[in-house]
Structure 1
């Protein structure tokens, strides 16, 4: 799993909606990328604050 969500996350949920395999889940007040991630980059393109990094 190469992608991570950093502290810049504003918990808007856009990444969750963009993930074709449902690999992003709510974790407290932010989100986390699970091992189901296929590294398709859909979330990278969708995040409005660039909080998803490789």
Structure 2
């Protein structure tokens, strides 16, 4: 159970990005695609830095 609480902030962050992306797609398709691309870049940077990778 303690391991779950270690990942809870990252899980909540991912769910937050998902809901922001859905809201942007409801506003406009182009805006949704742009926000999805930006959120994927942010996720790649976060996951890369969490694994000890080199961040740009």
After TM superposition, the score normalised by the length of structure 1 is 0.29
Larger radius of gyration: 2
Q: TM-score normalised to the size of structure 2? A: 0.28
Q: Which has the higher helix share?
A: 2
Structure in which a larger fraction of residues adopt strand: 1
